[in-house]
Structure 1
């Protein structure tokens, strides 16, 4: 049965070893269809230059359509998230990326990541003046190992979402009064890494979570175990479809703002009745609410709360970003043979013990939501979706909750919540 499955997958996705021999031809076809794109093929060092084979090490692909759109966006913000990478690999990647985006060594760029140690060192080495944010979700996952519960979560995110230093100091003071150890733990992480109050504002984004990378990686789970060319084609096709989907959303959008920004603007207008506005001169206004008072300059588009400094959501800019397309390539039988005399061979691979895991490791909060969703009866469409995604159904409707905290995935014996007196 396993042998038959292997043969079927090989016919469907291609041969792992054989695809490396056609990798150079595939690269030539990509560059022919997408001119000005950047593709870097890195091979393992070889002591014998007379060998006709070279071992694959890594590959970098950056489509010109995406680079043009990114530069038109005007936001100097980029999310980074790759598992099991070393500092050397990150430096290699960031050096090429800097050339593609025209970033000098002293660029004031902004990155957001999940606090990978090798990545932190690489960013500091390649872009020493860059602003490097940490994903707040991952900080909270580390924090909740010691301080669990909605109380501590609310205190943390109140400090992270504060847009000005005074508000941040007030939030940190509240944490200090609640739990001194948690305050000291958070104080060891520079506030410029995780709180909006200390963001420079150059990136025009108040993003606290690395959701862009997380959602992108989730879409590429099905390509991880594919042969190299099949994997790269899977990514290219997904990017192409994403551009088409966004264009359809843009066609239905109305007004000067993006749909999400329009929704946020409507919420602001609802709260407008609670504000008191006093004109100072032609460009300066005092805006007062029940809890705070801010000074707004409509000419410079600034406010002492700093919310304007951190956001920008124009529909026209959004359309320009997605105005370029990634061009497809013909089938394998139409590729021209590569003129390079050496042949690429697969990289070194050590087979791990046990069945390889495809799904990423979920946090405890995600497990609770998944368990809660399983308590209700699924309809036939949802069951088919689970099976098509490679999942399985387990004791639907019989998930038991913890008798102490009411959570899922554990019982009273393993519960970390303190017992009620």
Structure 2
């Protein structure tokens, strides 16, 4: 290994995202030696190979790594799958898939009290192709809770079914492309779609804030009558869009048809997207380095959550406390009429709901969906207190999934570390794992996520505006005249933007 590569390795330990151009400038500053960018790129490749490991050799040590993980984390499930081979006398087996589910995360998920799993996949960006499949839950603080992940050859029905079969066994779930896999493995599961992805497909034909607002109004409706009203409005606006949405079962995308079994009314799969974002640093690494990166992230996340728990003071989690305070504020403005000991009629300015505290239900269905009493239910509880009826602490009416004690129990289990490769015990298996078939793609490897059409326009406009603001600041710092660029001014007549009172087309009020 050359002296240049050794120095680059030291730099990459502290700042791993340095480009070859930046490393070239640093090297010139330190040693006053001018190197070409291509030379620096080659030296960086050598340094990264030493730092992260060799892509091909790590597959041969994969069995030893799995044995060490299982030794440190008993009860965990790690499954290694290889390509089928007709000749059983061969001493090599080609890698196909690996599934990892730590016992600590399984124990925590069973204590969550929220049977919700978000499923997603992201591409591997390294030398060998593949996909990372993830299963993510949500804890009582409405934050992501990683459960299991797998590295597979491709995102297809066969790989998803293999992943979900193993996941169902680990979580003791009753079970006899993704949709087919879920329906075949978990036929009794409630399968929800991410509304953002539905809207991305919808906006290819019907663009604009009008159609977006109509769609999300129907998706966020919590009761069937309000959902029907929203769909009727869509029908009047655009019949084709109404027919397109009608082909998707409402139980897959609208809160009005969700059941309350999972205590969540989420419409987006942001939990998985957030988890995938944390894996960006692992996706271009060799197989063992990638698995270690994910394990270290999960370990550090448990520690981070425990620090957050130490700051919580009330009986509920931090996010649940904020939501609960907001609900109580809204409940104080409602009018309540008692019907009997358990039934109450609750009125607001525009709606009227019926609350049954015995069954813990409300006709708005928010209590049913989330497990947290809605503003109508809290108003009914206030009325019970005024009538000298025993209610107890109001927080006890919130489902146990949001209690601080439950949250602490979930994160009471740790993922144990393992020693370095020099201390691993050699595997007793006679076969050696070889990597996947590799085919070098044409052009420079892409690392950034492919953005949708709307995202591209927003990003381009934002970059253009920032560039103009920076130019103005440079001009002003050099003694130029300060302009209004970067500061939105509203019209003095209508309050709108991007025009003034002279060009305003709003009617003049007499």
TM-score (norm 1): 0.84
1:34–1:326 Cα contact (<8 Å) kept: yes
Output one character per residue of 1:283-331: Cα deviation in whole Å (capped at 9) or x when no partner: 2211111222111122322111111111153322222211111111011
Q: Aligned equivalents of 2:495 and 2:311: distance in 1?
A: 43
TM-aligned CA distance change 1:251 to 1:417, over 3 Å: farther
1:348 is displaced (CA, Å) by 1.0
Distance across 1 between alignment mates of 2:172 and 2:481: 47
Name 2:67's counterpart in structure 1: 28
Pairs within 5 Å for 1:162-201: 162-201=221-260
Q: Is the 8 A contact 1:95 1:126 kept in 2?
A: yes
SS, match of residue 327 in structure 1? coil
Show CA shifts across 1:236-276 (max 9, x none).
Answer: 01111111111111111222222222222222233224311
Aligned equivalent of 2:166: 96
The ranges of structure 1 where at least 4 consecutive aligned residues each deviate by more than 3 angstroms after the TM superposition are 364-421
RMSD over aligned Cα atoms: 6.8
- Aligned equivalents of 1:43, 1:392: Cα separation in 2: 68
- In the alignment, structure 1 segments of 5+ residues that lack a partner are 106-117
Q: How much does 1:93 deviate? A: 0.6
Q: Offset at 1:365?
A: 4.4
Give, in angstroms, the shift of residue 357 of structure 1.
Answer: 1.3
For 2:440 and 2:315, how far apart are their aligned partners in 1?
A: 53
Provide, for residues 214-255 of structure 1, a one-character-per-residue CA deviation record: whole Å limited to 9, x for no partner: 000011011111000000000001111111111111111222
Change (3 A) 1:385 1:122: farther
**SS of the residue 1:277 aligns to:** strand
Q: 1:52 to 1:193 in 2, by over 3 A?
A: same
8 A Cα contact 1:375 1:398, kept in partner: no
Task: Judge conservation of contact 1:54–1:343 (CA < 8 Å) in 2.
Answer: yes
Name the residue aligned to 1:223: 282
**1:26 CA drift (Å):** 0.3
CA contact (8 A) 1:294 1:304 kept: yes
Instruction: Rate the CA distance shift 1:240–1:393 in 2: closer, same or farther, 3 A.
Output: farther
Contact 1:371 1:408 in 2 (8 A): no
> Offset of 1:36 from its aligned partner?
0.1
8 Å Cα contact 1:164-1:196 kept in structure 2: yes
Distance 1:339 1:239, change over 3 A: same
Alpha-carbon spacing, 1:95–1:412, altered in 2? closer, same or farther (3 Å):
farther
Give secondary structure in 2 for the equivalent of 1:197: helix
Match of 1:58 in 2: 97
- Per-residue CA deviations over 1:89-135 (Å, capped at 9, x if unaligned) read 01111111111011122xxxxxxxxxxxx000111111122111000
Could you say if the C-alpha distance between residues 83 and 185 of structure 1 is closer, same or farther in structure 2, counting changes exceeding 3 Å? farther
Alignment of 1:90-239 (within 5 A): 90-105=160-175, 118-239=177-298
* Equivalent of residue 47 in structure 1, options 71, 86, 92: 86
Structure 1 residues 397 and 281: CA distance shift in structure 2, 3 A: closer
Q: Is residue 339–residue 345 contact of structure 2 (8 Å, CA) maintained in 1?
A: yes
Q: Name which of structure 1's ranges 376-385 and 386-395 shifts more when overlaid on structure 2.
A: 386-395
The structure having more radius of gyration, on CA atoms, is 2
Q: Give the length in aligned residue pairs.
A: 408
Note closer, same or farther for the CA distance 1:13–1:153 as it changes in structure 2 (3 Å cut): same
**Residue 41 (structure 1) shift:** 0.1
> Under a length normalisation based on structure 2, what TM-score does the superposition of the two structures give?
0.70
Higher RCO (C-alpha under 8 Å, 6+ residues apart): 1
Q: 1:417 to 1:214 in 2, by over 3 A?
A: farther
